[in-house]
Each structure stands twice: as C-alpha cells, then as structure tokens.
C-alpha cells in the first residue's frame, strides 16, 4: 500500500514542525504532500527545511486559491504518482495524527473513511458554541438535502482509495470552500462507493488563525441543493 497524506496550508508555519514530527512518529509508511498558497508567514520555507529530513513533497502555488483547489491539485498529484491510499487532513493539529491508523485500518474494507466528530455524540473540544451549532446544523441540513447518510459530511479528516478519486471528474467539482467536503462525499456515495465513519476527537486550533469566512458559509448553503440537482440531472 502506497499512502500519501495531503495537507493544504495557509499561514501554518507554527504548526508544521509538530505536525510532521507526529505523523512520522507513527512509523507508518506515509509520504506527505503539502499544498501551500505562498503563505506570507513563510510556511513553505519551514516545509523545505523539513524536506531535507523527511519524505515530504511540496506544491507551492502563487497565491491563495482556496481549500478546494488545493485538494484537487493534491489529488491529481497523488494519482499521477501512483498512490493507492490518500489521506487528507488540516495542518492546524485539529486532526490528531494518532487517528491516522484507525482511518487506515478501515480503508481496506471501505472506499472512503471519514474521521467523524459526530459519530459518538459531539467530539469537538474548545469550539465556541456558535461555531459548534453552525457545524452541527450544517451537517443535519446537508444530510437531509443530499440524502447521504453520513453524520459528519463536512469533516476534513478523511481517507480515500485512489479508485474513488479516479472515478470523480475533479475538474467538475463546483465548491471552493468547505462545501468541497460535502461534494466529495456525495460524489463517492452517488457512484456507489462504501463510506465508513470512525470516531475522532476534534480539538480547535491553538496556534494560527481560522480561514473560515461568511462567503464560505453562504457557499455551502446554496451548494448543497446544487449538488442534489446535479445528481437529479445525471451530472454526477
């Protein structure tokens, strides 16, 4: 099994070293691909230093192009470089690398594994109540409209079999922000792939700033019915 962890970064220089150290401490055979959008805080330079010691790759883009396009670029790179298992995670340590083994354990018998915050109650630590309510109800809304029975449709800690990414026309993904997570899950489910959730504990970032904006929230509100409409008209 050739495994890649794709990690998009924007101004995460203070989180990168700890993250890389924690992933390689697992002693699993995993490569890391960072997709950095020319972070003004010098994240890419930190990554380049770490590249001397670890199996790390970097796609350095010219400017902030958004989470969705960072992942799409990473997915294409993974497929071109023959990885068969692709993990995606945030750089801010909200996604604990110690949960990677439980994602990998399940990927053999499933096609997509989601590290789920809402599988066993609400496993979110240190989020302000309004952020938690937003995330929770966004998930209920997305589940009802899309008909995809996943408790954490918006989570960003996931594992894909390469076959799933290969089957999706990545150039036709419409989302720019976090609704990207919902769209990828729907694409997989509508194509008949098996999705499994495993519980994770999500801890709010302690270092760096959130990139969540109102634009990202509004995009998700109209994108969810749009995804369903694409399915109804056979575009997925």
Ligand X SMILES: Nc1nc2c(ncn2[C@@H]2O[C@H](COP(=O)(O)OP(=O)(O)OP(=O)(O)O)[C@@H](O)[C@H]2O)c(=O)[nH]1
35 binds ligand X (CB under 6 A): yes
Strands 30-36 and 158-161: unpaired
Q: Which does 73 bind (CB under 5 to 8 A by kind): ligand X, Mg ion, none?
A: none
> Residue 60 burial (CB < 10 Å; 0-12/13-18/19+)?
middle
Strands 124-125 and 202-203: parallel
CA distance 189 to 160: 12
Q: Which of 66, 40, 46, 68 is nearest to 58 (CA)?
A: 46
Q: What share of the chain is helix, strand, coil (3-state, %, to 5)?
A: 45, 15, 40
Q: To which H or E segment does residue 180 belong?
A: helix 179-190
Stretch in the footprint of ligand X (CB under 6 A) among 32-40, 137-145, 191-199, 228-236: 32-40
Contact letters (x/-) for Mg ion, 39-78, by CB under 5 A? ----------------------------------------
Shortest distance, position 219 Cβ to ligand X, whole Å: 13
Nearer to ligand X, 90 or 219 (CB): 90
Nearer to Mg ion, 194 or 211 (CB): 211
List the interface residues with Mg ion, window 89-108 (CB under 5 A). 90, 92, 94
Shortest distance, position 82 Cβ to Mg ion, whole Å: 29
73 binds ligand X (CB under 6 A): no
For the chain, the residue count is 236
The CB-side HSE value for 221 (13 A sphere, CA atoms) comes to 6
List the interface residues with ligand X, window 102-131 (CB under 6 A). none
Nearer to ligand X, 35 or 114 (CB): 35
Q: Which of 35, 100, 104 is nearest to 69 (CA)?
A: 35
12 binds Mg ion (CB under 5 A): no
Shortest distance, position 167 Cβ to Mg ion, whole Å: 28
Residues near Mg ion, by CB under 5 A:
90, 92, 94
Residues near ligand X, by CB under 6 A:
8-10, 12, 35-37, 64-67, 70, 90-92, 94, 205, 210-212
């Amino acid at each position: 099994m050739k495994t890649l962890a794709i990690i998009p970064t924007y101004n995460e220089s203070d989180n990168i070293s700890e993250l890389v150290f924690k992933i390689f401490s697992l002693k699993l055979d995993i490569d890391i691909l960072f997709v950095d959008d020319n972070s003004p805080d010098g994240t890419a330079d930190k990554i380049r230093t770490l590249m001397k010691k670890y199996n790390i790759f970097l796609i350095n883009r010219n400017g902030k192009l958004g989470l969705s396009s960072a992942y799409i670029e990473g997915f294409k790179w993974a497929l071109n470089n023959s990885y068969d298992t692709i993990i995606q995670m945030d750089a801010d340590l909200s996604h604990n690398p110690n949960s990677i083994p439980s994602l990998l354990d399940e990927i053999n018998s499933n096609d997509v594994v989601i590290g789920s915050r809402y599988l066993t109650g609400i496993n979110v630590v240190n989020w302000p109540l309004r952020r938690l309510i937003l995330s929770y109800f966004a998930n209920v809304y997305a589940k009802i409209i899309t008909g995809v029975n996943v408790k954490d449709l918006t989570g960003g800690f996931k594992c894909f079999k390469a076959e799933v990414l290969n089957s999706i026309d990545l150039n036709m993904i419409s989302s720019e922000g976090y609704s990207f997570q919902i769209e990828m899950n729907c694409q997989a489910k509508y194509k008949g792939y098996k999705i499994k959730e495993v519980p994770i504990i999500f801890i709010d970032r302690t270092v760096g700033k959130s990139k969540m904006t109102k634009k990202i929230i509004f995009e998700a509100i109209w994108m969810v019915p749009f995804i369903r409409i694409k399915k109804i008209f056979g575009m997925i």
